[in-house]
Structure 1
Amino acid sequence: MTSAAPSTATKTQGFDPAIHRKLVAGIESGLLRDLHVVLAARSGDVILEHYAEGIDEAWGRPLGKVAFDADTLHDLRSVTKSVVSLLYGIALDRGLVPPPEAPLVAQFPEYPDLAADPARAKITVGHALTMTLGMEWDENRPYSDPLNSEIAMELAADRYRFVLDRPIIAEPGSRWIYSGGSVALVGAIIARGTGKSLPDFAREVLFAPLGIERFYWSAGKDGVASAASGLRLTAPDLLKIGQLLLRKGLWDGQRIVSQDWIEASFAPAVSTPDGLGYGRLWFIGDAPAPAFGAPKPWHAGFGNGGQRLWLMPDADIAAVIYAGKYNAWDAWVTPTRIWREIILANFLRA
């Protein structure tokens, strides 16, 4: 099943059948695989919308074949991390959470032994937001492996002690180590500061103002919602979050999050081994944009299986890609080709 008819959830006067035909040709040729949804908008107008059928799962639980449409909830996987960054900014704007320069372990007073460690005392909340804790963490193993650090955290008797007690292997701030554990700590600080669970706070301050009525947030056996990978949203609703960021935190005239937080989140704090920049739970890079004649910067949330929220502020483009290639080393190929070779390569400069 494919659909070229754009959703009524977003303005559609910019919908481009020619770009959609190029997407379909890529799918039919076998170059673009395991796609579930592609949705892109420029200046608030949908330019590309495509829904398909595919095998899916929810946080590892098989769902079988699903016919996707604008109302289908889908795992964001680690795109959840970028949404949590936004939630931290909202909480910070309201004075409910400590600033990034605050010491991290001090936010967990139940662990006085860890707080007494001079090496850990140097770690800040900002290091958690940029995955530069300097602590040992291994998510290179399959997520079916109990030795994968995120899975081990979920299985631990105390998830926060598990994260904070990891061996220190680098100076905080000096090295990017991908870590769902760091985001679990960020989520805990939000929950403690706001007095609300992460899903309840998200509903109140982000989802309701954007008109997002349906979502699901997977939780571990301890009932704690996964800040690292647990959120499920429809594609149009994730696109709204992207458009909020492109609008510098404003939605229908209402300030949702400060422009300062967005700019700081999108500023590269460290480099990843792949050569990308990384801000406050956002990947940062650049890509050719023929309409401009030169590469332009982009910001993105990346998730296991090919989940993407791409943003190019200079072109006012937001794109959502959902896919089902979970736990595959090459899951990045299809979404990257769609972003670079179809969306960016084919929009016209106004």
Structure 2
Amino acid sequence: MVLQGGHLLASWGDIARADMTFSIAKSYLAVLTGLAVDDGLIGDIDEPVGQRVPGPLFADAHNGKVTWRHLLEQTSEWRGEMFGKPDQIDHNRLVAPNADNSRKGELRELQAPGTFYEYNDVRVNLLSFSLLNLFKRPLPDVVRERIMDPIGASKNWSWAGYDNSWVEIDGQRMQSVPGGGHWGGGMFIGADDHARFGLLMARGGDWNGKRLLSQGWIDAMWAQSANQPNYGFLWWLNRGPHANKAAPETAVYALGAGGNMIWIDREADMIAVTRWLPSAKAPEFIRQLIAARG
């Protein structure tokens, strides 16, 4: 799908089919974090997560230094295990064109929280679990009520956790959801719902005059992180050495395996959603999109 000025320019395929979206779910987690900030559930994203999340996950000296910002920028260096998966499983993992992941999963020496970027799904799942402890209700319910229903999204999308990610919070049993699809679960959603979500982000969190998410949080999500020039808060930025030179630096995107992408060109007020686009074809698709916008 391609939209400009909020109007549909073109679509092809079954845009309503709820498909696995892989790591685009991470960008939805970033928005949920913004809701927690807007609600006052998080006072300061630079505070240690352990101040608000009870239990052993942030109890030792190393993990006790992990902040919300670190989890959002993927610089937490948190060590431990979530739902049977140790953080080591994504050590030495790179997400970049022609990345060498031959050492993925090899144990490496951890750095101080906030000093080293690593794309690590176990730590993203930790963020999701931490947010669950704040909202005290299933995150899919929160995002449906606060974001998806107000923007007119369908009822077809779903977000499921793992068989072993059921937890009890304040006496209520609920499932913690992942920020990807590595080990089961994940977000299944149609391109048309992604497009609405992308349009809300491009419009600064305002939907037809109703404020759903603060503009300040969207600005924070899309600010360049200190340790990774093309990464913000679980959103990718068209910045740094891997930027698409045909597109403006202000472009941002949510990205998942399998060529799943929500591309937001703020200069042209354009949204594009791709599904199952081969990764090698994405730069050319964006180049042609930019050329066609005039």
TM-score bracket for this pair, using the shorter chain length? 0.7 to 0.9
- Residue 184 (str. 1) matches residue 184 (str. 2): no
Task: Write out aligned runs for 1:63-74 (5 A).
Answer: 69-74=14-19
Aligned equivalents of 1:168, 1:104: Cα separation in 2: 22
Cα-to-partner distance string for 1:64-105 (whole Å, 9 max, x where unaligned): xxxxx1220011100100011011101210112343112023
Cα deviation for residue 263 of structure 1 reads: 0.2
Contact preservation (8 Å) 2:248, 2:267: no
Cα deviation for residue 167 of structure 1 reads: 7.8
Match of 1:104 in 2: 49
Q: 1:339 aligns with which of 278, 282, 286?
A: 286
Task: Write out aligned runs for 1:240-251 (5 A).
Answer: 240-251=196-207
Cα deviation for residue 121 of structure 1 reads: 2.4
| Runs of 5+ consecutive residues of structure 1 not aligned to the other structure | 1-38, 52-68, 142-146, 150-165, 325-330
The structure whose Rg is larger is: 1
The one-letter code of the counterpart of 2:50 is V
TM-score by length of structure 1 reads: 0.67
Match of 2:169 in 1: none
Cα deviation for residue 171 of structure 1 reads: 2.0
Aligned equivalents of 1:138, 1:315: Cα separation in 2: 40
Task: Write out aligned runs for 1:111-260 (5 A).
Answer: 111=56, 114-117=58-61, 119-135=62-78, 137-139=88-90, 140=93, 169-212=110-153, 213-222=155-164, 223=166, 224-229=175-180, 230-260=186-216
Contact preservation (8 Å) 2:198, 2:262: yes
- Seen in structure 2, the aligned counterparts of structure 1 residues 271 and 283 have a Cα distance that, compared at 3 Å, is farther
What SS does the aligned partner of 2:272 have? strand
Aligned equivalents of 1:188, 1:305: Cα separation in 2: 25
The one-letter code of the counterpart of 1:78 is S
Aligned equivalents of 2:118, 2:263: Cα separation in 1: 22
Cα deviation for residue 168 of structure 1 reads: 6.2
Query: Relative to structure 2, which stretch is displaced further, 91-100 or 42-51?
Result: 91-100
- Structure 1 segments, 4+ long, off by >6 Å, are none
Query: Relative to structure 2, which stretch is displaced further, 172-181 or 98-107?
Result: 98-107
Match of 1:34 in 2: none
Aligned equivalents of 1:257, 1:251: Cα separation in 2: 9
User: How many residue pairs are counted as aligned between the two chains?
Assistant: 256
- Residue 84 (str. 1) matches residue 29 (str. 2): yes
Cα-to-partner distance string for 1:135-189 (whole Å, 9 max, x where unaligned): 4644349xxxxx977xxxxxxxxxxxxxxxx986112222210011222122122
Aligned equivalents of 2:271, 2:109: Cα separation in 1: 37
The one-letter code of the counterpart of 2:157 is F
Cα deviation for residue 190 of structure 1 reads: 1.9
Q: 1:262 aligns with which of 218, 226, 250?
A: 218
Contact preservation (8 Å) 2:255, 2:261: yes
Counting aligned pairs with the same residue, the percent is 25
The one-letter code of the counterpart of 1:217 is W
What SS does the aligned partner of 2:200 have? helix
